[in-house]
Amino acid sequence: MTLTNERKEALEKTYQFYLHHEAILKMKEIPAHIGSNVYIHTFKVVKKVMKKAIKSHKNLDLENLLIAAVFHDYYLYNWRTTKDRPHPHGKYHPGIAAENAKRDFNISEESQRMIKTHMWPFNFFNPPKGKEARLLCNVDTWIALVECLTTRKHKIKKADKYINYISTLF
């Protein structure tokens, strides 16, 4: 897929809006996979999913995909310590993230649908529908796996690199 400069600029503007938004910055306080936080995990997913989408040469809905990737883990609680969280976290957090994103940012139904299915097969009866949803599911799974297998010490050493990496979309 070839992007015009105008479309690239529009996607970058959307990316920057969310990257620096006060509500999104709160995700830095929520731990993710060992030694990481939800903010860094989220924007690593956004960058990778957009890179793969553009490289795929398929006609994909990049705007909704970008927004779904930003909010895929917008559940806003520490699942390791919160007592009243739904169990299991992997199954229920996509619905919570979609509801929070709808409440706080009024995201589209299509973006909500992608968010709700990104944890397949944990939410076995709710598989991703559409190329964008499958791409988000696959990229998030891959990045989470790599994060889980990478040592905490290594991640702390690379923290500045990740912040620099996610600073721009393109």
Number of domains in the chain: 1
Residue 88 has a pLDDT of: 56
The answer as to whether 87 is a domain residue is yes
pLDDT at 91 > cutoff 60? no
Q: Who's near 164: CB < 8 A, 6+ residues apart? A: none
**Cα(48)–Cα(139) distance, rounded to whole angstroms?**
7
Structural domain boundaries enclosing 113: 5-165
Q: Evaluate whether residue 79 is within a structural domain.
A: yes
Distance of CA 135 to the CA centre of its chain: 11
Q: Residue 145 domain-assigned?
A: yes
Spatial CB neighbours of 86, under 8 Å, sequence gap ≥ 6: 92, 93, 96
| H and E: helices and strands count for the chain | 9, 0
Structural domain contains residue 170: no
The answer as to whether 136 is a domain residue is: yes
Q: What is the CATH number of the domain that holds 111?
A: 1.10.3210
The segment with the largest mean pLDDT, out of 64-68, 80-84, 118-122, 153-157, is: 64-68
139 within some domain: yes
